[in-house]
Structure 1
């Protein structure tokens, strides 16, 4: 099994974000990638740098308007007298239909849901390489690998088709799922991050070919607040193809695993040809976001249960922030997953 990562992904280094109105250091730091890469090596994974795939993977999910914004907004922002060092929105429209603003300030508000996704000089190149990691991992699985791990940093599951948010710019899990759809008619995405994958849900909300399932801390009092509730089931052709399992704050191993059983049963009923795991490790009891209370042995059990689906699988890194257990949690998950994961030869042939 390979871990896909390019050191260029570390060049994005956001300075700060606002939390409860206070300025704080942004926790989505390059150090996360160093810890996770070391842990993947400890688990026996072979590192591989993804090829340069250009804009195509991102364009399979995101609008050209949004990609043009991401590519050019930093340079435009720097031409504004007195502008901040990073692009940070200061206007949040209550609707997004109709006219499209021409100003950099207006477009930042249009394309960024919150202040936790600042855009610097290296943000778009790093996000693009992160998307390449996800797309290449999917290509490896399409070509016959049982599984591949995309160490995506920056992460992606809060990014909609034309919106950045929550440390995320390009939706890596959605990009991987779309790539797998070239080979199989149905793909399932299972998101186990402590935060609901609202962007992933939004991308596929009206589609029946991709099932989206998310386990996360109840958003009633937890980010992303406006998405992730149990009554969100999809719409149009996608009605019944979105399944949210919000969990009470501080839910530990047994509660998480019980919800995971429900998630896996729904995935089995969908009968997908491949699986994408949005692998958040921030459900950990010691994670700085303190939403859930999964232990390191719990991550091993979670990985083992997911592996039992025996599906060609792309693991896409989402959250999980710098703390004492971060690397151990990834190693535990990978060990559990690989111990139980068995895919029939030529499953995607």
Structure 2
């Protein structure tokens, strides 16, 4: 399997995040990448596809904010990372404010996703990695892996959150559509619901989004991912949420994944984007499912049995010592 990563994806390193009512050390660190790289064969550097595939998914004003926020923050006399502290209630998002404090709230979901001077370059190359994996699959490879860091599935068209700034899975799916793939499916098997991916394709009938995740009644992002969310308009029926109770093991997860794969097959997908988070592992420090390292190979073999060309985009996973083995297990399962 071809694999893609750029060393510039290491530069982004926020200091703190707001978690459970306190500022703590940021969990999404460059050490995650080091652990994965140590467990896998050498990866290819991605090709630069430019900003057009990013702007096909993300709002231009939001992209400008990501690029300029650190300089605006410094110009306002602030030190450290850019982080919002006031957020507009849904439906109250004035578009004519240019103070950095207002923009930081307007374009963000939470206070766990600070912007550093290196964030734009890092997340830009994360997007290029997934686009290069898509290139490989469209050229005939059955599957390819993008070591996306930062992750992407919490980022909406015009907001960041959950350690995510650009939605790499959505960027790959849209690029596939723009290159002639008729129907694309996204299967999200991260611990947390991919609210950004769901938002981006909510009214679309050409991209199917299926997510297995911890029940949002108990876990972030809370306001998305409930079982009755199925899309709207042309997209009604192309969103499938399968919430799982904390403590779920392989049997429950595999049954839910089978339901998702059956729905993707009925949809008639021509290509699959797999948002893979290893934060479903039993020892993850911020999550509460109970998958083992060996379970990931089983899940991957089930996905590969559908025989869909597959782009694997890395999402979460914060137990650094085990992360490389967990990713290697998943990717090894495709070889079965």
What TM bracket, shorter-length normalisation?
A: over 0.9
Partner of 2:198: 201
Partner of 1:291: 288
Instruction: Provide Cα deviations, 1:149-168, integer angstroms capped at 9, x if missing partner.
Output: 00000010000000000000
- Contact (CA 8 Å) 2:169, 2:313: kept in 1 or not? yes
- Contact (CA 8 Å) 1:139, 1:180: kept in 2 or not? no
Answering whether residue 24 of structure 2 is matched by residue 24 of structure 1, we say: yes
- Contact (CA 8 Å) 2:6, 2:125: kept in 1 or not? yes
Instruction: Provide Cα deviations, 1:301-331, integer angstroms capped at 9, x if missing partner.
Output: 1111011011111000000113332111111
Partner of 1:87: 82
Partner of 2:109: 113
Answering whether residue 16 of structure 2 is matched by residue 13 of structure 1, we say: no
Deviation at 1:97, TM superposition (A): 4.2
| Alignment root-mean-square deviation, CA | 1.1
Aligned residue for 1:220, secondary structure, equals coil
Return the alpha-carbon distance in structure 1 between the equivalents of residues 294 and 155 of structure 2.
Answer: 30
Instruction: Provide Cα deviations, 1:33-87, integer angstroms capped at 9, x if missing partner.
Output: 111122222xxxx511012222122111001111111111110111112x24110
- Contact (CA 8 Å) 1:194, 1:283: kept in 2 or not? yes
The number of aligned residues is 334
Aligned residue for 2:145, secondary structure, equals strand
Deviation at 1:100, TM superposition (A): 3.1
Partner of 2:209: 212
Partner of 2:43: 47
Return the alpha-carbon distance in structure 2 between the equivalents of residues 100 and 257 of structure 1.
Answer: 47
Structure 1 unaligned blocks of 5 or more: 340-349
- Contact (CA 8 Å) 2:151, 2:164: kept in 1 or not? yes
Which of 307, 323, 333 is equivalent to 1:310?
307
Which of 227, 237, 242 is equivalent to 2:234?
237
Instruction: Provide Cα deviations, 1:262-307, integer angstroms capped at 9, x if missing partner.
Output: 1111111111110000011100001111321111111111111011
Partner of 1:151: 147
Residues 254-293 of structure 1: matches in 2 within 5 Å?
A: 254-293=251-290
Structure 2 unaligned blocks of 5 or more: none
TM-score (norm 2): 0.97
Return the alpha-carbon distance in structure 2 between the equivalents of residues 245 and 167 of structure 1.
Answer: 22
Residues 46-85 of structure 1: matches in 2 within 5 Å?
A: 47-81=43-77, 83-85=78-80
Instruction: Provide Cα deviations, 1:212-233, integer angstroms capped at 9, x if missing partner.
Output: 0000000101000100000000
Return the alpha-carbon distance in structure 2 between the equivalents of residues 213 and 3 of structure 1.
Answer: 24
More moved, 290-299 vs 219-228? 290-299
Return the alpha-carbon distance in structure 2 between the equivalents of residues 31 and 99 of structure 1.
Answer: 37
Return the alpha-carbon distance in structure 2 between the equivalents of residues 85 and 30 of structure 1.
Answer: 18
CA 271–132 in structure 1, closer or farther in 2 if over 3 Å, else same: same
Which of 233, 248, 252 is equivalent to 2:249?
252
Partner of 2:36: 36
